[in-house]
Structure 1
Amino acid sequence: MFVEQFLGAQSQPCRVSAWQLDNNHISCIEDGAFRALRDLEILTLNNNNISRILVTSFNHMPKIRTLRLHSNHLYCDCHLAWLSDWLRQRRTVGQFTLCMAPVHLRGFNVADVQKKEYVCPGPHAEAPSCNANSLSCPSACTCSNNIVDCRGKGLTEIPANLPESIVEIRLEQNAIKSIPAGAFTQYKKLKRIDISKNQISDIAPDAFQGLKSLTSLVLYGNKITEIPKGLFDGLVSLQLLLLNANKINCLRVNTFQDLQNLNLLSLYDNKLQTVSKGLFAPLQSIQTLHLAQNPFVCDCHLKWLADYLQDNPIETSGARCSSPRRLANKRISQIKSKKFRCSGSEDYRNRFGSECFMDLVCPEKCRCEGTIVDCSNQKLARIPSHLPEYTTDLRLNDNDISVLEATGIFKKLPNLRKMMLRSNLISCVNNDTFTGLSSVRLLSLYDNRITTITPGAFTTLVSLSTINLLSNPFNCNCHLAWLGRWLRKRRIVSGNPRCQKPFFLKEIPIQDVAIQDFTCDGNEESSCQLSPRCPEQCTCVETVVRCSNRGLRALPKGMPKDVTEL
């Protein structure tokens, strides 16, 4: 609905000082829509579907002092630049007026967005009007019979400003990376959404909220790793859900709780190792289920799935076990219940399935068996950035790791008991390197190039009983005196690491060196002088450095030399 339709033809000025039009279905405001309301002081249009406000819409309201437009769908392109200027000149009038599209401006105050940000695609963007056709089709798409077809157009984000009457949108084979909050909420009549074969890795939990008429949702061929909590809640009419060919590694037990009418569910070709008991229980109408090409661990926790598939022969893709070895490549539905057994480590690992911890999948180049993650002898230059939360034994021996970065990764490993870093290229250990490893009992740094260890480096290792520091070229100067005291005080198994410098202390166990013999000549550094691995204001993951929204006034210093994305 447009405002002129709502108001009707006003041939004579109206003496109205306040008008509340909240909670309607207004989608567009035409030029001069309020020209008959010259005495209007308060106008509220909150919680509508307004995406366009045309130039001069408010020009005939000289007395306006309060304008409210929050909870709309304003599209901040070149055609809305005028409103930014208008609001800047009247700072107290239109507070809480926010952009909702394009994606990079979502949530910004209209008055605060710089004029250069208000751009339109194409050199000759036609000014919109408030007629039924003006909102019918994005420039890159074709539209007919309430179907918007944007297939293979190179789109990087979901188009906004679509007609509310659309019943189907086709967005497959584009370059869309995310589905933002409320992306489809205003299109209540949608029955089919196809966003397959894109690059989607991030979906807002309320992306499909309120779509009670939706019957088909096609998301296959993307990079989805996790289904956000509540993503499919309220989709009571959904019959087809295609999630195949993604990287989904776990599903919360209530993921499909509202999908009583679902007929076909495809989870084919993902990274699922386990699924929680009761996951498919709400699917009262399910007829076809695809689970093949997932690395299922067929332990005691997957017994329920075998029973379910035997009672409900709906899995038609031939899902098979990946491990343990005795069940590898056997069809899950054909394995007897007694074959699904757990060792202690398997039991510990898979009982987390319903919580959907990140990265249940084994890190690249590593091998996982039970709760052991073995990344040894893989020529790794750094510790993998994501490790499974269930890990109790981490093996990183015989690699090329030279720096133990304080990335906080160990804070996510509360169950780690054993950490092996033997035969790497580590030269220094900082005091925040092992933060978070409160459960580690054994730490091996044997055969590295460690010359010094910063005071307090092992303080957080409160459960430590064995540490192997042998075969390292320790420089026993004044800065290593703390380690001698620590080894004597803790009385843990250490193998008696020995000094290599200075010459007069060579091969003497560090804990046996007298305090007065730990000396410095004044030119020696007090701690690890590592080149900065991450600028202070930024966060770094592997070779990606993120410094957005940090209030920077200049490029940050200390950028890693191997950065690939900034």
Structure 2
Amino acid sequence: MTLKITMPGEQSGSTFSQLRLFLCFLMYCWVLADPVCGYFLKNCTIRGNLSDPSNMKVLCEKRNLEVVPKDIPRKVSVLNVAMNNISKIGKLDFKGLSNLKILNMSRNQISSVDDGSLSHLEALQELGLAHNRLTILSDHLFQGLANLSLLHLDNNLITTISSSSFQPLSSLKTVNLTKNNLHNMKEVQPIVQLPHLQELYIGSNRFTSFQSQEISNTSIELRLLDLSRNPLGIFRITADVLPYLEVLDIAYCGQLGHMEWDVLDRSFLSNVKRLNLSGIEMSLERMGMVLQTVNSSLVHLRLYDISEERVKALTDIACHIPTLSLLRLHHNNISVLSKEFLQSCKQLTEMDVCDNNINQLSELLFRSMEQLSTLKLGHNRLSSMPKATRNLPTLKILDLSFNIIHELGCPDFANLTGLTQLFLFHNQISNLPECVFQDLKELRILKLGSNKILTLNDAFMSGLPKLEYLSMSYNKLSSISKGDFKGLASLKTLLLFDNQIASLEDGAFEGLVNLTELRLQSNKITQTDIRNTVLTGLPLLRTLDISCNYITYVNDDKLDPPPFSHLTSLENLQIHSQRHKGLCHLPINFLEGLKSLLAFKAGNLNIKDLHPNTFIHTPRLWYLDVSKNEFTALTPKLFHPTPRLNRMYLSKARLQSLDFLVGANLSRVTFLQVSKNDITVVNETVFRSLPALTYLDMQDNPFTCGCSDAWFVQWMESDNQTQIVGAGEFTCNYPADLKDTKLLDVELQFCIVHLGLYYYISTTCLVLLTLIASFAYHFLKWQVIYGYYLFLAFLYDTKQRNKLTPHGCQYDAFISYNAHDEPWVLRELLPELEGEQGWKLCLHHRDFQPGKPIIDNIMDGIYGSRKTICVISHRYLESEWCSREIQVASFRLFDEQKDVLILVFLEEIPTHQLSPYHRMRKLVKRRTYLSWPRAGEQTGVFWQQLRLALETKDGSAEENPILSGVQAL
């Protein structure tokens, strides 16, 4: 075989192209290896969809934070860092949060805000800085907040407002500066002159006067002004600067002992609809002047904490205002409401006298109020239903809650034919007469909770045809009999929780054909009461709560019949927290019939396992809570019938592994809570089986901090879909030397094989290897080829040495030559050595076995001969097979330490031409060799030396220096 040697100058352009390609490829691989910044918050949680910036909320309240977190997602729209220990807002704290619309930093310790620190929040609409320690509002504090509409600065220590601090807030509508240390009304002048300001709260400061010239010389668009709880000595308006004002609150003002009212023209406050004069320190005459000023527009009046005598006088004045419709008289220590008290209030539609000490009402008190629709008498001391509330056909809402009413009589609601809402909760009622609600034909809402009712006494058999909401919670009912609610055909919500119900008769809820919500929690109901004959007749029921009762089952055997078989519309079932022993077992067919069930809450039931067929009847199940049980482990088959499951609560369930989620058909689960279990290691395949997971809570688990959890740490820090709640607080439980160490603080990088980095290293090595091979082939072609064959020769040599025995040889010499030198071998060498000297030679064209692999013939020939004669010429050096032959022979020479190799040069070959053949050059340097005489020279000496070389024994080359004296090339 003839091989062409490529010169170094050839293909240089191709080489540089390969180099450029290699560099570009390295850069690409580096990009691949660079890890993606995943979604991970150490101290906060997210509400909403991570992929929907307009709905993303980050909640960091109550985390003991001292600085604003640095890992807030850039696309967040709502950020809540309230109730922490942050003392300063730095210039870069909110950099990059250009989508933020709502920022709540209330209830911190903020006393300093760097200028321009809020300028990054171009989209901000609401800012909460209430309950902090700010003292000065500087010039550049609100720079860049052109879209801000709501600003909370209440409950600070603000004493100074810079004249230009509010100038950037061109969209501001509401400012709350309540409870600060402001003294001078001129400081709020820049605020009230904002073009869109509508509401200003500056109550509980230190203003001693309010004068229109101090705030503006032109009309402003202010709709609400709260000046309450300031030590105002005077309220003066000398110009029409508040033409749009609708709400004025000056409650509890005049704390210096008195307050003057100076409004020269009644038209200056002609649009005020709501007025609060509660607790004001002002003479009765001046208060009358205030009411006269708003005589043409007042609708709602609030008079709290005023003595009984004054409130009667003011009520009489107020009720002569024709536009007044709502009067609130809380906390005035009124005990008796006489007929004269409200005789001038004929036009009122709502009367609110809650939170007094009223124990007596004049029977004709409200009879003159022909438009009265709402009457609130709650939080008083009425011991019986007042006759004053009867015969009011226009009344729609009656509130008598939080009194001490002991009993109800049939005439108590006489002629209240228009009543739609009746509130009687928190009284002492123990009995419901059958006829008590007979006139309430329009009643929609009835609240009788927190009384002492023992029995229903057929009160709901008739009389309430339009009732939709009934609350009987927190009473003392012990049983529900058949037909107790028969007359409530329109009822949608029935609340019976926190009674003492221990018996439910068959047909207990008969007639409730429109009921959608039934709550029976916290009673004494047992499993015998939960049967299909009790829950019959509820075709539209969607929510059933029977939690916190005494339901228990001794095994999970089938129930005959199943308890909920008739509730085909039920969507929400709650049975959690059964008392005494707990539920213990969940029967196999407990949920049979609930084909519409979406939510099942079965936590804290002392259940140790769930049968694989538990949910086969609930294919639409979306929400599952089985936390606070003792499962230890669950089976994947359990969840096969619930492919729509989205939210799972499994906290405090003593789970030791999450492997049951693998193969559980939970591809739609987005919310998983498995906190406070016994999980030590998290399998990577678990979360691969939850492709839609966006919220994960694994707090308070005893993690093993080692390489088994290394991938979990890497996943938490890099995954940009799933939020891991409280990951920064995950602690190690094992090994002992890492106990209580934060999982994220443990050095686990050496355990992790970063896939991107692995690809990068692998591809880089492959490219480097390719380039090295290309360079080697380009510049070191023959050295590479020679090395390749040298390696093959080594393998063949090792193989043959194991096969051939050292005893006896078939030939005296193996002749290695190139086909081009065959004429010399046949005409010169063969006749001399075989014919004249009698040696037996091995020639490949004559002695190789037909059909046998060439390399095997070569090996057999060399190892089957005492000597190997290499006939070397330029052609020989370029021959593939000749190269192999000399390599095998040289291995035998050097590795077996035998004098088996004889070199015969037919041509003069310079040493530098032997350099590509490392082994050949090594042989020439270490040994003498024979050269065929030039033309005209005698050959006798050559043949004599060759004969001597063949006669030497197979000892080491050093023991047989037979060719000494022959000149080397």
- Flag whether TM exceeds 0.5 (same fold): no
| Structure number with higher helix proportion | 2
TM-score by length of 2: 0.24
- Could you state the TM-score of these two structures normalised by the residue count of structure 1? 0.35
